[in-house]
Amino acid sequence: MRATALVLHRPFDAVPALASLAAHAVPGVETVDAGVVRRIVRLGAGPALVEATLGPDRISVRSTAGSEAELEALASSWFGLADDLDTVLGAFGEDAVLGPLVRARPRLRILGHPDGFEAAVTTVLGQQVSLAAARTFGGRLAAAYGSPGPGGLTMYPTPDRLAAVDPVELQSVVRITHSRARTLHALARACADGLVLGAPGSPDVRRDLLALPGIGPWTADYLALRVLGDRDAMPVGDLVLRRALGAGSAADVTRLAERWRPLRAYASVHLWTSTAYAL
């Protein structure tokens, strides 16, 4: 493809990143194959087909539109390249729980997302179901309400598009519960009305998310970690985190994680990655 191209050399652990991206990729919207991630990204110049090739300590990005500066900003946010990993190692290197994990994967970074609304919808669809089920729901939603884009991929529907759909129709088309459809509609309406899901976020964004029906602390904290760039965000009610820490409750996780402030997001990612490559 005719492309703007950029190569970034940063400490980067590609294996868990690719595994996580593959586990979360919405069918038809994003592909992950042979170390290459392909999707449509809305840049200043309009929709662009973006290909990111992830390797050890090297990220190559090509796009059908946009400037090198736009691609660098996209890659930095998407792959967590702005973080100082020496700070993470210094904070956790001697910790009894996290020290071995950080020393084993010193180049592990926190993945962001190029479309905060898509990430939020996918997270809502994944509430209390498996990643595979969430991807299936997301694929149905994108096929029904997205639009054709370059490279044979689907452009994810905008908040305005989903806000115009009746929740009863969403329930029927995506094959989800009515309460989940109500949450998606409320989320779309909030974003259409001006709620911006992107880094850097603010405490007001988390508050606004929690005000929506069907969005609780786990969802808000997960989005703060993945989308809002909050490096102290930690979804303390997460079942995988509780199991990894041998904690019986969210309160136990909160207590155990207090010593990991202000980098609890990195603690979460290392604990998740040590269990499975899904973030």
pLDDT given at position 3: 76
Question: How would residue 181 be classed by pLDDT, with cut points 50, 70 and 90?
Answer: very high
Contact present, 249 and 242 (Cβ < 8 Å): yes
Tell me: pLDDT of 199 over 90. no
Q: Which is nearest to 181 in space by CA: 145, 131, 227?
A: 145
pLDDT given at position 120: 98
> What residue spans define the domains of the chain?
4-82, 116-226
Instruction: Give me the DSSP letters along 191-248.
Output: HHTT----SS--HHHHHHHHTSTT--HHHHHHHHHHTS--TT---TT-HHHHHHHT-S
Q: Which is nearest to 250 in space by CA: 258, 259, 242?
A: 242
Report the distance separating Cα 140 and Cα 147, nearest Å.
13
Residue 205 one-letter amino acid: V
Token digits of residue 48: 């662009």
Tell me: pLDDT of 183 over 70. yes
Burial of 230 from C-beta contacts in 10 A (0-12 / 13-18 / 19+): buried
Mapping DSSP to helix (H, G, I), strand (E, B) and coil, where does residue 62 land?
strand
Contact present, 195 and 201 (Cβ < 8 Å): no
> pLDDT tens digit string along 28-66?
999 999 999 999 999 887 899 999 999 999 999 999 999
Enzyme catalytic residues: 238
Token digits of residue 16: 């868990």
> pLDDT tens digit string along 225-279?
999 999 999 999 999 999 999 999 999 999 999 999 999 999 999 999 998 754 4
Contacts of 85 (CB under 8 A, 6+ apart): 11, 106, 107, 109
CATH number of 116-226: 1.10.340.30
> pLDDT tens digit string along 122-178?
999 999 899 999 999 999 999 999 999 999 999 999 999 999 999 999 999 999 999
CATH number of 4-82: 3.30.310.20
pLDDT given at position 72: 96
